[in-house]
Amino acid sequence: MTTQNLNGKVALIQGGSRGIGAAIVQRLAAQGAAVAFTYVSSAAKAEALQNSVISAGGQALAIHADSADANAIRNAVNATVEAFGRLDILVNNAGVLAVGPLEDFTLEDFDQTLAINVRSVFIATQEATRHMGEGGRIINIGSTNAERMPFAGGGPYAMSKAALVGLTKGLARDLGPRGITINNVQPGPVDTDMNPANSEFAESLIGFMAVGRYGHVEEVASFVAYLVGPEAGYITGASLTIDGGFSA
């Protein structure tokens, strides 16, 4: 049985309509939090997720916001506070994966990778912490690829996720005196629509995992739920890997 240890808390998940983000929305709502989440293109999935949480007795708000747009991010934070009266938890899950040979990799893809995977995290954190008080929690969803990139073409992606390691450490110093923690969760390969466990690509990666399988979105969501809960107040500035031994 899931504990209701987030009753009275309000969470915003950047990129929450599908995959890991949707699992985090569902888990935090199940633990009692009112949950807002952003989406870009998956309007039907976002509406279905919002309705699912509400039907189960929870509070949810789907917000259309492009994480490459600074104003859209700020508006999403403010819409969350307007809807639920406060903000206690921010999960920066929005991300893009552009992979390609070095000689063909475009500057447009490079810039978008930085804009969504790194800049949006900074903007959302900057805006959200204007509303957070003692006990605030921020989680950045990084990647095990910050530590290990076992195939060609993923340099810019790995770089963007490695940047979150330093950003998380630095922001922990800014936010610690205010009683706000910030941590970086680094999943390995996880079974989602974008990266299914039964694909040819997955077969090439499974051999890297010590446990010999892809992760499940619920496993990442439960890890995040612990870190945003009341028992994790002494964890901050950390990059915590959940990758089945991919980087071992």
Residue 158 near residue 145, CB atoms below 8 Å: yes
Looking only at the bridges linking them, the beta strands covering 89-92 and 60-64 are unpaired
Whole-angstrom Cα distance, residue 145 to residue 76? 28
What 3-state class would DSSP assign to 149? coil
From CA 45, how far away is CA 21, in angstroms rounded? 12
Place of tokens 């049985």: 1
* CB of 42 closer than 8 Å to CB of 65: no
Contact 50, 60 (CB under 8 A): yes
**Strand 239-242's sheet: what is its strand order?**
60-64, 34-39, 10-14, 89-92, 137-141, 181-187, 239-242
- Catalytically annotated residues: 157
What are 232's two structure tokens?
């994790």
Residue with tokens 């930085």: 114
Q: Do residues 24 and 48 touch, judged by C-beta distance below 8 A?
A: no
d(CA 139, CA 159): 19
Residues 6+ apart with CB under 8 A from 76: 12, 14, 36, 38, 63, 65, 124
